[in-house]
Chains A and B, each alone.
Chain A
Amino acid sequence: AQSVTQLGSHVSVSEGALVLLRCNYSSSVPPYLFWYVQYPNQGLQLLLKYTSAATLVKGINGFEAEFKKSETSFHLTKPSAHMSDAAEYFCAVSRLTGNQFYFGTGTSLTVIP
């Protein structure tokens, strides 16, 4: 069963514009949530994680995400896009039991100069 849904497989923004990448999870119990970034020909790198300490999570490179239990969402945002933000972004969850992680299908971000 799909645990993570990323809406929009491709997102394009202008340099300096707001970045919004969407992630929804399906779980009756709030899981652990992660955002990763993947640059071409590289592995995934952690951007940020939510583990119930705070609903607004700040990550690296100016990214942040807000956990909204009522909407089962964990959307990723950045106020001002930079050319170097062009990459593939993955949302992932793990549950409170078991050791598996579940990944969304990814969103490719293009930044237009």
Chain B
Amino acid sequence: NAGVTQTPKFQVLKTGQSMTLQCAQDMNHNSMYWYRQDPGMGLRLIYYSASEGTTDKGEVPNGYNVSRLNKREFSLRLESAAPSQTSVYFCASCWDRDQPQHFGDGTRLSIL
């Protein structure tokens, strides 16, 4: 059982470069989420998709865009990377708000 798969696991970028973080889930979940995790700040929601075809901003959306490609896949794009976006990024999915989220193993992103 793969669960939630994130690619890549590690990435180093230069300031101004762009990249897309990929996330796929095989549990037929309706909702998908992107978080960033920084020391002492817990998980902060960047964007989420409550269902296929919809996306909404979370707490810290600036500098990011997302695409819910289909029910399985939810990608996060950094158009022009900045050092402040150095973080660990987690994708998660769930059936509904009363159900637990399932997390990927994270993408560790460093921006120089």
Partner of A94, one of B4, B42, B98: B98
Tell yes or no: A14 within 8 A of B by CB: no
A101 touches B45 (CB 8 A): yes
Q: Choose among A99, A102, A103, A105 the residue that contacts B40 (Cβ–Cβ < 8 A).
A: A105
Could you tell me the distance in whole angstroms from the C-beta of A77 to the nearest C-beta in chain B?
Answer: 19
Contacting residues, chain B, for A90 (C-beta < 8 A) = 42-43
| Residues 91 to 112 of chain A near chain B (Cβ within 8 Å) | 92, 94-96, 98-106
B58 in the interface (beta carbon within 8 A): yes
Tell yes or no: A42 within 8 A of B by CB. Answer: yes
| Nearest residue, chain B, Cβ from A44 | B103
How distant is the Cα of A42 from the Cα of B103 in the complex, in angstroms?
9
Q: How many residues from B make CB contacts under 8 Å with A?
A: 25
Q: Is A34 an interface residue (CB 8 A)?
A: yes
Which residues of chain B have C-beta atoms less than 8 A from A45's C-beta? Answer: 103
| Interface check A18, CB cutoff 8 A | no
Interface residue from B41, B96, B97, B103 paired with A43 (Cβ < 8 Å): B103
Cβ-closest chain A residue relative to B42: A105
Given contacts A43-B103, A100-B58, A105-B40, 13 further A-B contacts (CB under 8 A): A32-B97, A36-B103, A42-B106, A43-B106, A45-B103, A46-B101, A51-B98, A90-B42, A95-B97, A99-B50, A99-B96, A104-B42, A105-B41
- List chain A positions with a Cβ less than 8 A from chain B: 9, 32, 34, 36, 41-46, 49, 51, 90, 92, 94-96, 98-106
Residues in chain B within 8 A of chain A (CB atoms): 4, 31, 33, 35, 40-45, 48, 50, 56, 58, 90, 92, 96-98, 100-101, 103-106
12 A-B contact pairs sorted by A residue (CB < 8 Å): A32-B98, A44-B90, A44-B101, A90-B43, A94-B97, A94-B98, A96-B97, A100-B45, A100-B58, A103-B44, A104-B42, A105-B42
